Amino acid sequence: MTAWLARRVAASIAIVFLVVTLTFVLMDLAPGKPMLGPPERPVDPQAEAVLEAQFGLNGSLGVRYVSYVRQLARGNLGESFGLRRPVADALAEAIPNTLLLAGAALFVDFLIGLALGVYQALRAHRLPDVVLGNVTLFLYSVPTFWLGLILLLVFGEWLRWFPVAGMSDPILCPSVSSFYCLMDRLWHLALPALTLGFVGAAGTARFQRAAMLEVAGQDYIRTARAKGASERRVVLRHQLRNALLSFITLFGLAFPFLLTGAVLIETIFAWPGMGRLATDAILRRDFPVVNAAVLLASTLVVAGSLLADVLLAVADPRLRVRGGETV
């Protein structure tokens, strides 16, 4: 198990390094210069050259890459051209906001998705299953940004039940300093988290329904029933528990997916997270921020996948490995 884990960790680091290198090269090759600004801003070639030198943009690609890797090894992510501050500071402010949004969305996703999946499986091929199946199919096929815009329009602008943008009331609650402000934060979180969560839940429900139905036909379920176990016990202890094994893989991959899916939602709801930071940085050709965002996203994807494998190995004895061989 230890050797397997070490190999997986080493492979994960290599993948992240490769992604970061590719991003560095591709961003350099992409058209657009970071110091040029919008086309309608008067061009001052001298000022542009000074800023390029000050931000270390005037060397060859190789020289800049070596310098970047050296700085990265020291934990220095560089300085943002657009934000005029260290990238690490900008990330440190944005990451918790995205984690809050993604965490809340994941909660909604799994809570609703699991419940619906189990409910549908228990009533498979009957009217509630058919109706819910179509509803989840509809939600699953809806683009996240579209659902976000609809919720924003209906519940934000028309009914005014929820705030339309931001993560807190800037006047009453610039920070979470009281119960009132905690409620305010949750109130602001509601629409973006529900948007992300609903779309995720639709997929999760379909996945969970299929897993439950697959498990329902297994011998051990029949055995449990033959032994006289109650239906509740059969479903919760035997059917759901085994169906959850494949769910762990989904969990491992869902989190990074939510982080990337949050890009558009953060823009629509003006949520100050990683997605918005990365989008702005790409449009501004703010290379250090883009590189750092990719580094973070790829690390999360790889770590999520690794975590899912480890959890699966822990949860399912059949998948446990010892000394590189399946037991």
Minimal distance in Å, beta carbon 3 to other proteins? 43
Task: Report, in Å, the least distance between residue 185 CB and other proteins.
Answer: 12
Where along the sequence are the contacts to other proteins (CB under 8 A)? 31-34, 36-48, 50-51, 54-55, 79, 82-86, 90, 93-94, 97, 152, 156-157, 160, 163-168, 170-172, 174, 179-180, 183, 267-270, 272-273, 276-277, 279-280, 283-285
**Alpha-carbon span 142 to 223, nearest angstrom:** 41
Nearest-approach distance from CB 41 to other proteins, in angstroms: 7
The residue (of 12 and 168) whose beta carbon lies closer to other proteins is 168
Least separation in angstroms between residue 129's CB and other proteins is: 25
∠ CA 237-241-247, nearest 5°, is: 160
Nearer to other proteins, 58 or 218 (CB): 58
User: Nearer Cβ to other proteins, position 200 or 273?
Assistant: 273
Minimum distance between the CB of residue 44 and other proteins, rounded to whole angstroms?
A: 6
| Calculated CA dihedral for residues 111, 112, 117, 120, nearest 10 degrees | 140
Residue 110 or 269 with smaller CB distance to other proteins: 269
**CA distance linking residue 107 with residue 258, whole number of Å:** 11
How far is Cα 183 from Cα 299, in angstroms, rounded to an integer? 32
List, in order, residues 6 or more apart from 237 with CB less than 8 Å away: 224, 229
Checking phi first, is residue 85 left (phi over 0); if not, alpha (psi -120 to 50) or beta? beta
Q: Determine the Cα–Cα distance for residues 242 and 216; give it in Å rounded to an integer.
A: 10
Q: Which is nearer to other proteins, 168 or 305 (CB)?
A: 168
